[in-house]
Amino acid sequence: MYQFDDILICLDLSEMDDSLIRYSNFLVEKFKPKTVTFLHVIKSYEIPPEMIAAFPHLDQPLTEIVKEELQEKTDAIFLHKNKVKTQVKVLEGSTTDNIVRYARENNITFTLMGKKIGYEGRGGIVRKVISIIPSTVLLISETTQPRIEHVMVRMDFSKMSALALKMALRLGELTGAKISCHHAYKLPLKYFPVSSPENDKKLMTHVEKHGRKEYQKFMKKLGLDDEKIQCANSLDPENDEAHILYKQALTINADMIVIGSKIKSELADIIIDSTSEKLASAEKNIPVLIIKDRKQTIGFLKALFK
């Protein structure tokens, strides 16, 4: 899980591609992967036949043309093709299905995507892909700078938070980035006459104290020092954890948010937790690294494609 041997970069033929290729240079320098794949999926069924007919002299298939174009682009921007095995792949069909299938079949451990990718409405493809892809996904925006200096981990003392923290530590080893955690807590529901500003304050102090204890226990279990990696607490009064995390990341100048994403299956659909989904939205331009429980996701996928 904490290996970056095979990296997948999803391109969509938009201006975002330049940013993604440029960022992949940085990833190769830091993560030293074995393979890097640049993947684009053409929705060939959406291409009108008259568009093809307008170019009668072309005897190459469209996938070849796009592949050559992307090859030219990566040749120009990607600087490490001699150090790492690099390939450009162009597939045809449904974008989500192809990306997920490719990642699964090729044991991709790390996927890089733009926060706005494809044309399925605002981040539709990103949302679908991050729900079902078994690999870790890094989402960056057009303005993301290639650096990882301060990583903030979303902390809720769960198994997924442990995976996220371990990933952050690994990133720290590779990049020298500082690690910190943030725990956004909610107050339990209460009713009049229990609810009053004084009682709320007392309750907040109590919950924060409880949070600190939980964090100590959590770190002890992982064999880590809770003094070295600080965990900040803040109240999430409006049940909008994504907003709290994003605000906190801006305050502490974190340049990456790492989140262990819980997934759940509802009938035939797999749904990612809403905080990951909200952080993945294009409006929030701090990169988000979404850690998946690979075993669990593959289990879901098997059940889904059975």
Partner 1 sequence: MTDNSKIEPENETHLKSSKKYFDVDAPVFWPSAAVIVIFIAITLIVGEPMDQVFSSIQSNISNFGGWFFVLSVNIFLFFVLYIAFSKYGKIRLGGSKSKPEFSTVAWFAMLFSAGMGIGILFWSVGEPINHFINPPDAEPRSVEAARQSMEITFLHWGLHAWGIYALVGMALAFFTFNKKLPLTISSVFYPLLGEKVNGPWGKVINVLAVVATLFGLATSLGLGVQQVSAGLAHLFNLPDTITTQVILITVITLAATGSVVAGLSGGVKRLSQLNMILGAVFLAFMLVVGPTLFIMDSFIQNIGGYIQNFFELSSWTETYKQSDWQSDWTVFYWAWWVSWSPFVGMFIARISRGRTLKEFVLGVLIVPTLLTFLWLSTFGGSAMYLELNSLADIASAVTGNIATSLYVLLEQFPLSAVTSVVGVVLVTSFFVTSSDSGSLVVDSLTAGGKLDAPVPQRIFWALTEGAVAAVLLIGGGLGALQTAAISTGLPFAVLLIILMWSLLKGLKKEHTGMMETRMEAERKQYLETLAKMMQKREQAKVSDQSKKKTEQ
In the complex, least distance from residue 65 CB atom to partner 1, rounded to whole angstroms: 5
Closest CA to 224 of 161, 149, 169: 169
- Contacts to partner 1 from residues 17-46, by CB under 8 A: 42, 46
Q: Which of 28, 36, 66, 259 binds partner 1 (CB under 8 A)?
A: 66
Q: Which of residues 72 and 269 has its CB atom nearest to partner 1 in the complex?
A: 72
In the complex, least distance from residue 228 CB atom to partner 1, rounded to whole angstroms: 43
- Contacts to partner 1 from residues 239-268, by CB under 8 A: none
In the complex, least distance from residue 151 CB atom to partner 1, rounded to whole angstroms: 32
In the complex, least distance from residue 210 CB atom to partner 1, rounded to whole angstroms: 33
Q: Which of residues 94 and 234 has its CB atom nearest to partner 1 in the complex?
A: 94
Q: Which amino acid appears at position 53 of this protein?
A: A
Is 13 an interacting residue with respect to partner 1 (CB under 8 A)? yes
SS3 readout for the chain: CCCCCEEEEECCCCCHHHHHHHHHHHHHHHHCCCEEEEEEEECHHHCCHHHHHCCCCCCCCHHHHHHHHHHHHHHHHCCCCCCCEEEEEEEECCHHHHHHHHHHHCCCCEEEEECCCCCCCCCHHHHHHHHHCCCEEEEECCCCCCCCCEEEEECCCCHHHHHHHHHHHHHHHHHCCEEEEEEEECCCCCCCCCCCHHHHHHHHHHHHHHHHHHHHHHHHHHCCCCCCCCEEEEECCCCCHHHHHHHHHHHCCCCEEEEECCEEEECCEEEECHHHHHHCCCCCCCCEEEECCHHHHHHHHHHHHC
Of 11-19, 107-115, 140-148, 284-292: span binding partner 1 (CB under 8 A): 11-19
User: Positive or negative CA dihedral for 66, 68, 72, 78?
Assistant: positive
Residue 160 in tokens: 């997924």
In the complex, least distance from residue 121 CB atom to partner 1, rounded to whole angstroms: 5
Is 228 an interacting residue with respect to partner 1 (CB under 8 A)? no
Q: Which of 12, 156, 241, 273 binds partner 1 (CB under 8 A)?
A: 12
- Contacts to partner 1 from residues 71-130, by CB under 8 A: 118-122
Q: Which of residues 11 and 103 has its CB atom nearest to partner 1 in the complex?
A: 11
Q: Which of 65, 84, 232, 282 binds partner 1 (CB under 8 A)?
A: 65
In the complex, least distance from residue 60 CB atom to partner 1, rounded to whole angstroms: 7
- Would you give the binding string for partner 1 spanning residues 268-297, x where CB under 8 A is met? ------------------------------
Note the residues at the interface with partner 1 (CB under 8 A). 12-14, 42, 46-48, 51-52, 54-55, 57-60, 62, 65-66, 68-69, 118-122
